[in-house]
């Protein structure tokens, strides 16, 4: 069975919106004023990149040959900004076990969390979502 290749796209908070970068395809970037526009730009910038490589007769990276899917991941600062107003930092703190003040530092960009902290935040958000799904 042939599985589709995955390209991980990181959404990062910028001054005027969200930037995108690609883990498996370095040195290309995109931007959008909203998450939705940033995701659209990610798709467009890869197509444009392939067109440019073809035009100058440069090899296309293996991962971009054939079918692939984009897997979008927020960095913590962008994630906390994106859900601000939907889920409180206090609720995230309770579900993740990370202090609300520390979450504020992450959301402001003052500090960057380690991977373990990011994983706790994501697990906490999943717990909140699962709890909400239980409501009838």
Query: Looking at the predicted structure, is the pLDDT value of residue 2 above 80?
Result: no
SS3 4: coil
- Pairwise CA distance, residues 40 & 128, whole Å: 28
CB atoms within 10 A of CB 81: 17
Query: Looking at the predicted structure, is the pLDDT value of residue 83 above 60?
Result: yes
* Average pLDDT across the chain, whole number: 94
Question: Quick one: DSSP state of residue 99?
Answer: -
CB atoms within 10 A of CB 5: 14
Query: Looking at the predicted structure, is the pLDDT value of residue 1 above 60?
Result: no
Query: What integer is the mean pLDDT of 103-127?
Result: 94
- Quote the tokens at residue 91: 């609720």
Whether this prediction's pTM lies above 0.75 is answered by: yes
């Amino acid at each position: 069975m042939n599985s589709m290749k995955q390209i991980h796209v990181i959404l990062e908070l910028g001054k005027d919106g969200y930037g995108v970068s690609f883990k498996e395809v370095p040195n290309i970037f995109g931007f959008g004023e909203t998450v939705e526009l940033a995701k659209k730009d990610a798709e467009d910038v890869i197509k444009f990149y392939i067109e440019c490589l073809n035009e100058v007769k440069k090899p296309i990276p293996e991962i971009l040959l054939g079918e692939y899917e984009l897997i979008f991941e927020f960095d913590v600062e962008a994630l906390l900004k994106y859900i601000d107003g939907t889920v409180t930092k206090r609720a995230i703190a309770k579900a993740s076990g990370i202090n609300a003040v520390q979450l504020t530092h992450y959301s402001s960009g003052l500090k960057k969390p380690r991977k373990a902290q990011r994983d706790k935040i994501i697990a906490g958000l999943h717990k909140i979502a699962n709890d909400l799904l239980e409501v009838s």
